[in-house]
Amino acid sequence: MKKVYIIGSKGIPAKYGGFETFVDKLTAGHQDENCHYVVACMRENSLKSNITEDIFNYQGATCFNVDVPNIGPAKAVLYDLIALNKAITMAKENNDVRPIFYVLACRIGPFIAHYKKRIKAINGRLFVNPDGHEWLREKWAAPIRKYWKFSERLMIKHSDLIICDSITIEKYIQHEYSSYTPKTTYIAYGTDIEPSNLTKDDTAVRDWFSKHAITEKQYYLIVGRFVPENNYEAMIKGFMQSDTKKNLVIITNVEQNKFYQKLKERTAFDSDKRIKFVGTLYQQDLLRYVREQAFAYLHGHEVGGTNPSLLEALSSTAINLLLDVGFNREVGQNGALYWGKNTLSTIINETEKIDDTTISQLQKIALTRMSEQFSWQHIIACYHNIFLEKQQGDN
């Protein structure tokens, strides 16, 4: 049996986060008895589900809890190191045959050579998901950005396979680190494609829409982390400059966020009654309904890989207006419309004139693409193939 040790998510059951949701979906859809997942979990994540055991079973996967002292920004690095060390020890004790260690994100590059030697000693393989361009994120101070880039380089150097959730990221890895001749493959992130079970008359729906003074099909929508590189400033400025009478509904967490005050000063969005920051929304069925009932979705992510919120939008919102960068084009293709940082207001004005037939065509193209290329069922099958092919003699 092929054992795959997954390192780098906070753990399952998932409470939040892209990697956590990925691991949750991967284990939930697992049906191949020739492959078994072993998942590292941060103790504090498990406690949120009232799980206290050191080792527990969830959705057929073996999960082990890791205790990590709260040492600030380096906590995630220490977590990965402790988890990988424990995983290698478990694989050795179990006499696993050609185990795979799949590390999510490139946090532990400076230390990976040591662990790679231990993995190689038990005939194991190191797989890495590089995630997005973490070293470009504005939330990090310059020294941390340098660490991210350095760490990424070393993770790529020592990996047996890099699994990229974006074609753009894969091309970047191949070009940036060509001296290492990295072996890469592309497997996208996934999304649920089932429509919401809620209707217009459900109490939860009416309460939420009434609370925020919002009407179905009369708002543009943004859902995403409240960080500068997601281009909130460009989206808000572009919206404010447009002629639309519709609202802009922004679902994100702005509590205790300095960026919120900075954004207010730079855009004066509080003077525009159309703009509504409505906080977070974790009820997935209600969030799906809110997405479905948006007139259009605005997406400004610029430095990530395949972004989960973009996939959710393309599978539920009729019109999607995406920042014109490689990450977004490769996912949306001709099922979306694209804007530059200085052209959004024009695109919004033009979008208001689109006829129903064109809207239906856009939505059909997007839904078909999500169903065929980004459904969790498809993504899970791709991972099973990768993991089991490695068992069949790939050195």
Domains of the chain from N-terminus onward: 2-190+376-391 (3.40.50.2000), 203-374 (3.40.50.2000)
Closest C-alpha to 312, from 377, 375, 229: 375
Q: Give the span between the Cα atoms of 191 and 214, in whole angstroms.
A: 26
Name the DSSP letter for residue 375. Answer: B
Chain segment 74-109, per-residue pLDDT in tens: 898 999 999 999 999 999 999 999 999 999 999 999
Radius of gyration of the chain (CA): 22
**What pLDDT, in 10s, does the model give residues 163-196?**
999 898 999 999 999 999 999 999 999 999 999 9
pLDDT digits (tens, 9 = 90+) for 24-55: 999 999 878 899 999 999 999 999 999 999 99
Main-chain phi, psi angles of 166, to 5 degrees: -150, 135
Q: How far apart are CA 279 and CA 263, in angstroms?
A: 16
SS3 state at 323: strand
Mean pLDDT of 335-364: 97
Residues 222 and 200: their CA atoms lie apart, in Å, by 21
210 in helix, strand or coil?
Answer: helix
> What is the model's pTM?
0.86
CA angle 58, 73, 81 (to 5 degrees): 50
Helix (H) or strand (E) holding 275: strand 275-279
Considering the chain, what is the average pLDDT of its residues?
92
| 55-58 and 61-66 beta bridge pairing | antiparallel
| Pair 106, 155: CB distance under 8 Å | yes
